[in-house]
Amino acid sequence: MKPIVVLGSGLAGYTLVRELRKLDGDIPITLVTKDSGDYYSKPTLSNAFAQNKEPGSLVLTPAKTMAEQQKFILLANTEVRAIHRAEKKLDTTACVIEYEKLVLAMGADPIRIPLQGDAANEVLSVNDLSDYARFRERLKDAESVAIMGGGLIGCEFANDLAHAGYKVSVIDPGPYPIAGLLPEEAGRQLLEPLQNIGVSWHFGKAAQRVDRSGQSFQLTLTDQTVISADVVLSAVGLRPRIQLAKDAGLSVNRGISVDERLQTSDEAIFALGDCAEINGQTMPYVLPIMHAARALSKTLGGSDAKAVFPYMPVVVKTPAHPIAVLPVPRDAPGSWKILEQGPGIKMGFFNPQDEMVGFALTGEYAKERNEMTARCAAKT
């Protein structure tokens, strides 16, 4: 019997394998990954520093143990060159593999904004464990870090590094922190608590140049402000990895296009996690991946299932001022209202029927996450 082949060993790939094994102990599975295949939790990369975690200690389960426990064939350090859909074969750097069903769980690449200057290629991104190891190495002799991007990941890194004693500058062309998810009043709550632990904010401008200056770097911003930093980190967002799917002629948009069954335009091929776009939406967080993986495991196991997503709040790991948000789509009709304000802020997003369909909780209010999620769920 030809195996189910999973491409990718991140949360998406491994959650799927785990769920599939729960349903079926015998179905052959092959996992192909371009890294080592060690299982680690990606969300911890942006808050591992304060806990003084060495990269190796972030590995929850080594690849070999995963393969033994979950009974799959592991092809680590292997890249896929092409998908030959007609023959249901993969051309990889190790060998040619036949598949019965193929699951694309390849994740996303960090977006790199074009920069000028002689140190533009010294800017780091942290998107996997080996990036994190490189980042840790650079931080050893550093005192200051400039972070390009004041979104969720940028703010988590800012909190983590400032807490560890680094002088942190955050640069973002937007108007306030985490503007992609939070309403302005909620995002602004982060300003002071992070400033108090050593973060300086530079909103409304972008980095233009990065130049070497002795042992450190000099960033020139669009308004000609100059910031010096020993390490420059880019955290401006992720772009789904779609090239392989595109080259194979699968339907792609921003991500690999799939329906609620996670099926691509080829019925033997599925996509899951950060590389997928489910009915037009990318869902790059932990909870949607868990739900989608569970549905897909059923479909692959033979009983057809659609991914159903409940209300899934996102927790921002900024201990200086905790945040929980149930985001709403950018074009959702309705408006944000302030419900309470005290140590932090509690806001709800109300649709035209005056039903709460989203929320933003900061500071002390972040604890009310479960209760607020239940309130949103109760109205339907």
Partner 1 sequence: MKVWQCVVCGFIYNEVEGLPSEGIAPGTAWADIPENWVCPDCGVAKSDFEMVEI
Q: Does the protein bind partner 1 through residue 313 (CB under 8 A)?
A: yes
Nearer to partner 1, 106 or 316 (CB): 316
Binding mask 245-264 for partner 1 (x = CB under 8 A): --------------------
Q: How far is the CB of 62 from partner 1 (least distance, A)?
A: 14
> Of 71-79, 154-162, 286-294, 352-360, which part binds partner 1 (CB under 8 A)?
286-294
Q: How far is the CB of 43 from partner 1 (least distance, A)?
A: 5
Nearer to partner 1, 47 or 257 (CB): 47
Q: Does the protein bind partner 1 through residue 218 (CB under 8 A)?
A: no
For Cα atoms 245, 246, 249, give the angle at the middle one, nearest 5 degrees: 90
Q: How far is the CB of 44 from partner 1 (least distance, A)?
A: 5
Q: Does the protein bind partner 1 through residue 312 (CB under 8 A)?
A: yes
Given 2, 54, 56, 60, the residue binding partner 1 (CB under 8 A):
60
Nearer to partner 1, 50 or 287 (CB): 287
Q: Does the protein bind partner 1 through residue 287 (CB under 8 A)?
A: yes
Q: Does the protein bind partner 1 through residue 23 (CB under 8 A)?
A: no
Given 5, 6, 7, 11, the residue binding partner 1 (CB under 8 A):
11
Q: Does the protein bind partner 1 through residue 370 (CB under 8 A)?
A: yes
Residue ranges in 29-48 that form contacts with partner 1 under rule CB under 8 A: 40-41, 43-44
41-47 long-range contacts (CB < 8 A, ≥24 apart) are: 41/11, 42/10, 42/11, 42/128, 43/286, 43/317, 45/126, 45/128, 45/129, 45/131, 45/132, 46/126, 46/153, 46/156, 46/157, 46/160, 46/317, 47/156, 47/159, 47/160, 47/317
Residue ranges in 91-130 that form contacts with partner 1 under rule CB under 8 A: none
Given 23, 305, 315, 339, the residue binding partner 1 (CB under 8 A):
315
Q: How far is the CB of 286 from partner 1 (least distance, A)?
A: 5
Q: Does the protein bind partner 1 through residue 305 (CB under 8 A)?
A: no
Q: Does the protein bind partner 1 through residue 142 (CB under 8 A)?
A: no
Q: Does the protein bind partner 1 through residue 346 (CB under 8 A)?
A: no
> Of 29-37, 205-213, 249-257, 283-291, which part binds partner 1 (CB under 8 A)?
283-291
Binding residues for partner 1, per CB under 8 A?
Answer: 11, 15, 18, 40-41, 43-44, 58, 60, 286-287, 290, 312-315, 317, 369-370
